[in-house]
Chains A and B, each alone.
Chain A
Amino acid sequence: MRLEYFQLIDRIVALDLDARTIAVDAQVPETSTIFEGHFPGHPLMPGVLLIEAMAQTCGWLLIGLNGFSRMPFLAAVKEAKLRTFVTPGQALSIAGSLVHDGSGFAMAHASVRCDGKAVCEADITFRIVPFPDPSFRTGMEDFARKIGFPLEAIAHG
Chain B
Amino acid sequence: MTHPLGGPAPGLPEARGGTGFERIPRGLRAGRQPGVARIALPRCLGYTDRNERAKNRRRMGGMRTRMPAGFTAFREYPMSSTFDTVANIIAETCDIPRDKITPESHAIDDLGIDSLDFLDIAFAIDKAFGIKLPLEQWTQEVNDGKATTEQYFVLGNLCTRIDSLVAAKGA
Binding site for B on A (CB under 8 A): 75-76, 100-105, 107, 125, 127
CB–CB A102/B122 < 8 A: yes
Given contacts A75-B116, A76-B116, contact A103 B123 (CB under 8 A): no
Residues of B within 8 Å of A100, CB to CB, are 123, 126-127
CB–CB B135/A107 < 8 A: no
Kindly state the interface size class of chain B when it binds its partner: 10 to 19
* Majority SS at the chain B contact face: helix
Q: Closest CB-CB distance, B62 to chain A, in whole Å?
A: 38
Bound CA span A104–B123, Å: 11
Chain B, residue nearest A76 (CB): B116
CB–CB B116/A102 < 8 A: no
* Majority SS at the chain A contact face: strand
Q: Closest CB-CB distance, B119 to chain A, in whole Å?
A: 5
Residues of B within 8 Å of A127, CB to CB, are 119
Bound CA span A85–B134, Å: 42
Q: Closest CB-CB distance, B134 to chain A, in whole Å?
A: 5
Sample 28 A-B pairs with CB under 8 A, ordered by A number. A75-B119, A76-B116, A76-B119, A76-B120, A100-B123, A100-B126, A100-B127, A102-B119, A102-B122, A102-B132, A102-B133, A103-B122, A103-B133, A103-B135, A103-B136, A103-B137, A104-B135, A104-B136, A104-B139, A105-B119, A105-B122, A105-B123, A105-B135, A107-B123, A125-B116, A125-B119, A125-B120, A127-B119
Chain A, residue nearest B124 (CB): A100
Residues of A within 8 Å of B122, CB to CB, are 102-103, 105
Chain B, residue nearest A70 (CB): B136
Residues of B within 8 Å of A102, CB to CB, are 119, 122-123, 126, 132-133, 135
Identify which of A103, A107, A127 gathers the most chain B CB atoms within 10 Å of its CB: A103
Bound CA span A107–B120, Å: 9
Residues of A within 8 Å of B136, CB to CB, are 103-104
Chain A, residue nearest B132 (CB): A103
Bound CA span A101–B132, Å: 8
Bound CA span A100–B5, Å: 13
Residues of A within 8 Å of B132, CB to CB, are 101-103
